[in-house]
Amino acid sequence: MSSPMQVRSIFVSDIHLGTRGSRPDMLLDFLARVECEQLYLVGDVIDGWRLRKSWYWHNEFDEVMRAVLALAQRGTKVIYIPGNHDEMFREWLGLEVAGVKLMREAVHEGADGRRFLVIHGDEFDGVIRYAKFLAYLGDWAYDTALVLNRWFNLARRKCGYPYWSLSQWLKRQVKEAVKAIDRFEVALAGEAKRRGLDGVICGHIHHAEMRMVNGVMYMNDGDWVESCTALVEHADGRFELLDWAATRRAPERFREVLPA
C-alpha cells in the first residue's frame, strides 16, 4: 500500500452509524490512508434517531469507533461536535472521553492564521429548529430514497456501470431543496462573519461544498452515506474536498492524492 497521505486537519460528518445507508467501509479505508494532526467529527456520527426506532449495528461500525479512538491514543487531537442525530451526546459537552473532546462548536485556526467556526449546522436549519416533526418526516423520505438508491445501484453494477447517487440527483432536481441549501449556506456564512471569523466548516445537509459567501469561506464536508467526502487542510493552510468514492474509482486520481 502507498504511504498514507499526510494532512494537518480532517473534517468529517454525517457518518450515520446505525443505519443501513452508512458507508463505514469507505470511511475505514479513508482513515487508513490519510493521516492527520487534528480530526474533527462534525456531527451525526451515530444516528440516534434511527437506533431508537430499530436497532441496527454491525462490526464495521465498531471498527470505525476503534479507529477513531486509536487515532486519539496515538496523539491525534480529536474533537467531536454532536449534531441533531447524535444530540444525546450534547449532554456530555466539555468532557473528554478516551482522548475525544466533546464540544458544541469550535474555532479552528488554520496553518495560515485564518480562523473558522466549526459547527454541525442544525441550529441554522429552520425545519430542525422550529418543526422537528417535519424533520422526522424528511428523515423517513431520505431513508426511502436511500433504499431505492441501493437497488438502483445493484442493477447498475450488474450492467457494468459505476456507483451513481439517485438521492443526490433528486436533491439537485428539486428547486426548493436547492433554495434551502443556499439559505443554509448564507446563514452559516453570516454567523461566521458576525463573529469576525474568516469562514465556517459544517455538515448537516449532506452537500459537500467550498465557496465564498458574502466575503467569507463556506465549507461543508459532505457525508459518508451518499458522497463519501471529507474536508482536509494541508500543511500550508490550503483546504481541499476529497471525494473518496471518486478517488477509489479513478486510479490516476488515487496516485495524485496518495503519492508513493
- pLDDT tens-digit map of 150-173: 776 777 777 877 666 666 665 555
What is the percent of the chain where pLDDT is above 70? 78
Given a cut of 90, whether residue 178 has pLDDT beyond it is no
Query: What is the predicted pLDDT for the residue at 137?
Result: 38
Given a cut of 50, whether residue 128 has pLDDT beyond it is no
Query: What is the predicted pLDDT for the residue at 176?
Result: 53
| Mean pLDDT computed over every residue of the chain | 85
| Range 41-69 average pLDDT | 95
Spatial contact of 224 and 22, defined as CB atoms under 8 Å apart = yes
Spatial contact of 42 and 201, defined as CB atoms under 8 Å apart = yes
Please report where in the chains the cell 458544541 appears, as a residue.
104
CA-CA distances (angstroms) from residue 139 to 13, 84, 211, 221, 229?
A: 17, 12, 27, 20, 20
> All domains of the chain, ordered by start, with CATH?
5-257 (3.60.21.10)
